Amino acid sequence: MRLVIQRVNYASVTVENEVIGSIQKGYVVLLGVGEGDCEEMADRYVDKLAKLRIFSDDNNKINLSIQDVGGEILVVSQFTLYADCRKGNRPGFSQAASVDKAIKLYEYFLERCRQVLGSVQHGIFGADMKVNLENDGPFTIVWDSRDW
């Protein structure tokens, strides 16, 4: 799995000119699923997201989690996180999971987020989505299951 986590002041995702998910302060998580990924990886990532301390406390120290600040989460499927641009100028996506596997893990990830974090907004898998956000910081973190 590959995740790009952006701390945001607000964010929304639109499909066919309709806002289908929006949040205030929290995280936008772009989620890519790779061929070797599994539910156990999703569990680890969701637990880590809940405990990740990247919000400022009263002393302006990065010390608070999304739960501590009552933040929200917006998850957007993003197979292009598996773009391979090493050869030529057109990216290849052979490392991305098949559609069936990716949908299953994306849905599993969303359910685990709901269980651990409560309400979760999200995009529509495979749709042409427009994501609007105001990055807070900017503060962006990239996680790759190859590094875990």
Tell me the pLDDT of the chain (148 aa) as tens digits: 999 999 999 999 999 999 999 999 999 999 999 999 999 999 999 999 999 999 999 999 999 999 999 999 999 999 999 999 999 899 999 999 999 999 999 999 999 999 999 989 999 999 999 999 999 988 999 999 888 7
The active-site residue out of 24, 80, 93, 115 is 80
**Residues sharing a CB contact under 8 Å with residue 72, sequence separation 6 or more, in sequence order:** 23, 24, 25, 26, 27, 66, 119, 120, 121
Q: In this predicted structure, what is the pLDDT of residue 148?
A: 77
Give the per-residue SS3 of the chain.
Answer: CEEEEEEEEEEEEEECCEEEEEECCEEEEEEECECCCCHHHHHHHHHHHHHCEEEECCCCCEEEECCCCCCEEEEEECHHHHCECCCCCCCECCCECCHHHHHHHHHHHHHHHHHHHCCCEECCCCCCEEEEEEEEEEEEEEEEHHHC
The active-site residue out of 79, 109, 125, 140 is 79
The active-site residue out of 78, 93, 139, 140 is 78
Q: Whose CA is closest to 117, among 53, 51, 39?
A: 51
Q: In this predicted structure, what is the pLDDT of residue 48?
A: 96
Q: Is 79 a catalytic residue?
A: yes
**Residues sharing a CB contact under 8 Å with residue 67, sequence separation 6 or more, in sequence order:** 50, 117
Q: What is the model's pTM?
A: 0.94
Q: In this predicted structure, what is the pLDDT of residue 141?
A: 96
CA–CA separation, 25 and 8 (whole Å): 6
Q: In this predicted structure, what is the pLDDT of residue 97?
A: 96
